[in-house]
Structure 1
Amino acid sequence: MRYAVTRITPEVGGLPKVLAGIEASLTGKSLSGRLLGCFTAEIGVLNQILILQSYDEDAALAEDRSRALVDGSLFGAAEHFREFETTTYMPFDFVPPIEPGKHGPVYEIRVYGVKASGLKPTMDLWRDAVPERAKVSPLLGAMYAIDGSLPRFLHIWPFASLDERMAKRAESVERGIWPPKGGPAHLTSLSSAIYLPTAFSPLS
């Protein structure tokens, strides 16, 4: 199992055109990957789009990516892109695969940079801490990058509202169950954005 996470920043005024191209591309049969989610940033980089796909085979992912780059299709809307990046991730082995469904509609997606020797200790700490933390609010996905800037990992937390997010995060900190004890010592950078699903996103 691999995840492909693509971030697209449209040109000013180009969001509707880019979303239309993405919908036509991802809901058709031109790509091998399974569409899990398509989101737009509510808090973070204004109008940024995030696409989450899963692949069972490396060859299928490589074929999709190569074809899109060579023919320039890039989800059918490349002429309206200002920035485009895509990263391949491997799931943490103790986190269940992401499945479509209604989990949000508020999705917090965080990316943490990790020290060179810090990925395995981080995963071990999360393995111990996530079960108790997930009783407060569920972890939808956690995965580490295998290309691009390394090492780093991404995690996804769904909430019913921004107010619920604040309350659940405060509860987990107050109870001392999150962040994992000793976890921050392995990190080099932190980023977070709030995303909302598009109308055609399987994750809603």
Structure 2
Amino acid sequence: MAQLADDKKNAPRQGLLKSLLHGSESAREDGMTSQSQSHSNTVGRGKYIHEIQRHVVRPDQVDAYKAILAEHYPKLAQDAPVRLIGSWEVVVGELETFYHIWEYDGYEGYDRCSAALAKSEQFASLNKQLRSTLGSRSSWLTQEFAFWKTSPPRESGVKDPIYELRTYHLRPGTLLEWESNWRRGLEARKRFVEPIAAYFSQIGQLHTVQHIWRYESLDQRKKTRDAAWQVETWNDTVTQTVKLIDKMHAQIMRPLPFSPFQ
């Protein structure tokens, strides 16, 4: 009887620990269904690894930095076993900051690319030139969400589109719950705006989710966000996910001239 009482007493604490490590019971059940479906119906999860690079450039070296990238990045994407998804400059947010997303064929592809670049004189020259322009740089290795594959790079048909990078730092153990809510919420959002990509980190700054959206303008961004709030499923997604976030950050970016996304 004493052991039974102790088990009952410890159950809430064990349940809390289990939730922190693995997400809520309902989210796990929902996520398991999603996972089984993703293996048969999608090719996103597990097929590619995406590296998100962040470069903070010295203010007096921005023009030189852009010229170096324009010369080397298209060649790198053509010659190395890697694909450039997009390159952007932050115009509202952390200025003199640039983001680049590279796609590899899984971790094997990343290893193969790293080995090839280690022997590349062009890559050595690129790194040497870049170091003189940078204040700092960092990178994350990420995966796509299975329900939100990276959109193929293409012309938007808009003269000067803007891209929004939204970064969410989640509480550890809540990724599966985040995924199950966003899978439903995305159906509401994509009625009004084109979702470009969504990634979760695996190496680097962990428990981090990043979304990229494309808009015609800041005014169009406001209008589409206002419209989404009128959809019940979007309200529910925000309500359920805001409690999972430690902090979040939104930045507006414009594509560099050589970026596959324009």
Query: Given the two structures, how large is their TM-score scaled by the length of structure 2?
Result: 0.71
Whether 2:200 is the aligned partner of 1:134: answer: no
Q: Deviations over 1:31-58 (max 9, x none)?
A: 3220111111110111211111111131
CA contact (8 A) 2:86 2:261 kept: yes
Report the counterpart of residue 139 of structure 2 in structure 1.
Answer: 86
After superposition, the CA RMSD in angstroms is 2.1
Deviation at 1:119, TM superposition (A): 0.2
Aligned AA for 1:95? W
Whether 2:97 is the aligned partner of 1:48: answer: yes
Match runs of 1:1-204 below 5 Å:
1-28=48-75, 29-64=78-113, 67=117, 71=124, 73-74=126-127, 76-103=129-156, 105-178=161-234, 180=237, 181-204=239-262
Extract unaligned runs of 5+ from structure 2.
Answer: 1-47
Aligned AA for 2:251? A
Say which structure is richer in strand: 1
Evaluate the alpha carbon distance shift between residue 164 and residue 177 of structure 1 in structure 2; reply closer, same or farther with a 3 A threshold: farther
Deviation at 1:30, TM superposition (A): 4.6
For residues 65 and 201 of structure 2, what CA distance do their matches in structure 1 show?
25
For residues 130 and 81 of structure 2, what CA distance do their matches in structure 1 show?
19
Q: Deviations over 1:133-185 (max 9, x none)?
A: 21121211111000122111100110011110111112212434435141111
Aligned AA for 1:132? A
* Overall identity of the aligned pairs, in %: 19
For residues 112 and 125 of structure 2, what CA distance do their matches in structure 1 show?
14
Deviation at 1:76, TM superposition (A): 4.4
CA contact (8 A) 1:24 1:76 kept: no
For residues 133 and 75 of structure 1, what CA distance do their matches in structure 2 show?
42
CA contact (8 A) 2:184 2:233 kept: no
Evaluate the alpha carbon distance shift between residue 53 and residue 98 of structure 1 in structure 2; reply closer, same or farther with a 3 A threshold: farther
3-state DSSP class of the match of 2:250? strand
Number of aligned positions between the proteins: 203
For residues 39 and 22 of structure 1, what CA distance do their matches in structure 2 show?
11
Larger radius of gyration: 2
For residues 11 and 193 of structure 1, what CA distance do their matches in structure 2 show?
19
Deviation at 1:73, TM superposition (A): 4.1
For residues 14 and 120 of structure 1, what CA distance do their matches in structure 2 show?
41
Deviation at 1:132, TM superposition (A): 1.9
Q: Deviations over 1:94-123 (max 9, x none)?
A: 112331112461000011011111100000
For residues 80 and 55 of structure 2, what CA distance do their matches in structure 1 show?
18
For residues 83 and 24 of structure 1, what CA distance do their matches in structure 2 show?
21
Deviation at 1:65, TM superposition (A): 5.0
Deviation at 1:63, TM superposition (A): 4.9
Say which structure is richer in helix: 2
Extract unaligned runs of 5+ from structure 1.
Answer: none
For residues 259 and 66 of structure 2, what CA distance do their matches in structure 1 show?
11
CA contact (8 A) 1:11 1:82 kept: yes
